A = this chain, B = another copy of it.
Amino acid sequence: MGIRILITGGTFDKEYNELTGELFFKDTHLSEMLILGRCRVKVDVRTLMMIDSLDMTDEDRVMIADHCNKSNEKKIIITHGTDTMADTAKFLAARIKDKTVVLTGAMIPYKFGSSDGLFNLGSAMAFVQSLQPGVYVAMNGKCFNWDNVRKNKKTGEFEEVDGR
């Protein structure tokens, strides 16, 4: 049984439009990244949406949860913008049982050369294979449980919630 990878957009997949000077979404770079990483794990990649995570609605999250629940695979990676990644993790944890779900993303677009995306994808791929069922966030080389993670807006890093 392989791994299901669900694409939702986020910085990970943003590109630079040289005519307008703006960032935009075209296609996901996930398959290209797996080839670069010479990944030989069996995967099934599906693009659910290509959006900035600040624009993600609860309807979007319901759709993601549905896809996770209907997926044959027990192990699922979700690429996601970092701004609401922790929110989506909480949302999914309330709706998904008996599956290992790992959300990951990037601070810099993969196409910009200096991205953390390939490192994060490598760690997400490893955590999803190793961990017990549950919903996790894989960022900064760490794995966080859904109920103990937030993005520090000042540093751009993920951290455990204070007091735990």
Contact = CB atoms under 8 A, between A and B. Distances in A.
Contacts of A34: 141
A57 interface: no
A141 to B, nearest CB: 4
A16 B108 contact: yes
Contact-size category for A:
35 or more
Interface stretch (A59-67, A68-76, A87-95, A125-133): A125-133
A121 interface: yes
Interface string A37-63: 111110000000000100000000000
A115 B107 CA distance: 20
Protomer copies: 4
Contacts of A154: 19
B143 A126 contact: yes
A18 interface: yes
B112 A113 contact: yes
A22 B123 CA distance: 26
A62 to B, nearest CB: 25
B21 A11 contact: yes
Interface string A100-131: 00000001110111111011111111110111
23 contacts: A16-B112, A18-B107, A18-B156, A19-B154, A19-B156, A21-B23, A37-B141, A38-B116, A38-B119, A38-B156, A38-B157, A40-B141, A40-B142, A112-B113, A113-B114, A119-B119, A119-B125, A122-B123, A122-B124, A122-B125, A123-B123, A125-B126, A129-B142
